[in-house]
Structure 1
């Protein structure tokens, strides 16, 4: 079976008059067909509603990178849209819906010419974000240690496709050189620009690289509510607040709260649902029998 990642969902005009071969999706996949044909992209779609009832889809194998001109926002990609997958991604990446970077502050993106280039550049990181900038085939990429704080199922132009994998440990000198170059570039940018926009803080990512950070709104971020848990980075790429000096907390790690039973509001964890053995008291989960009544 071919290994692949989703590129996106596209309108039928992306076919530009080309036709595919019919296949029964219960017995094979378009990715398997295109892998056998040694092609890079698999275009799959349902030609008519009757075909869906009979498990019949159309498959077009090509080396043509899809254009953002025809990108659609529906991640379910129903009839009559075309699903496009990229075959043989480096480092066994997998796709998991989208994330709206534009509403969350900058993500230190860099320009790329294709999804494969983005995934290759992010090989040393567990998360990669491929952003369709516009309808003119401009793309950017961002590599991150952490996954997105929430998932957006409404993908499309202006949204970043989220990909994840388990990076392989490596002592490669080339990887180290790339990391050092990225650190120096980040330092250079910091001399002329503020790291994060108003309302966001540059929170350090806990890893060997001491100056890696993410722009976080600590007034509403569940895992860094009220402050940066692992220290904060200033415009000179220095840690200005160490973990022992901040008052932030991870709301989902608080005793007794359910996974989806807590929120961060105004820099404070607000619980609204507790697990068995705990009860809610003034926005906090406390052990039953310890309410002070």
Structure 2
């Protein structure tokens, strides 16, 4: 009888002790810093011509080159900077127009995929797997049974998780609440940011951007006018929803001597010797060795617009005047050093 009375007390005490351990574990776990980065992007493998419908050559839209690449919308700004066909097209139409063309090619492609990347995963676009990703911070890709590709990043045994990192922690994981990040600002007079559940905030007109020095540090940037972070962050914010870095350092553009940021777009004011801005002032192009006036009659001039692309001009009698606009037929002398130009057909020919 005494045993039956004591047993429930022992069981109750054991249950309470186990519950306290669970609560203690949950408290420690809740204090660990875990920043989710579920990235939404649109990706597809492209095998198409980069066609410039705003410019005609012999009555047909000009082809600036061929694109055979797996591309995501978030990667387009960097792709425009590095791809030769895109650089040529940018000299003719401007970076913003070429970026819009590429976005249309990706978003309107019948095989495009809307990708959601797991926590600790970052995009690695491949033609056979546009939504491909790799895992970071010690995590490994995990493929569910029966699936063709991984869908998550796991921390494999015997390693354990600690504050968003997967590794060996023989002394356990620290339970202290992470200290708030160092609060930095490029601009004097900006009020100190207040840390909220979604991360810190900046004053009106400024964006929270990451910094190279640390994964949890940030700075407040005016991406509309900042010449070194024009149009967006150079390093993504480490807080909240992940957005790719789309900013441009206008001072680091090829052959640029000076530039400013106007309404989130780079505007080149001067180029290195031997180069000049195009008509959109966003690319520096080489000047011709003899930039003086020319008089060409019944001749053909050819220039390389990209892999396998040539444009031919005939019967030019005047120096090229810069013309930007829709449906302009390329006829006449085109001067690469001053961007794209069109010479109108002389009267009487």
TM-score class, shorter-chain normalisation, is 0.3 to 0.5
The two structures have a TM-score, normalised by structure 1, of 0.32
Larger Rg: 2
The two structures have a TM-score, normalised by structure 2, of 0.27
Greater relative CO (CA pairs within 8 A, separation 6+): 2
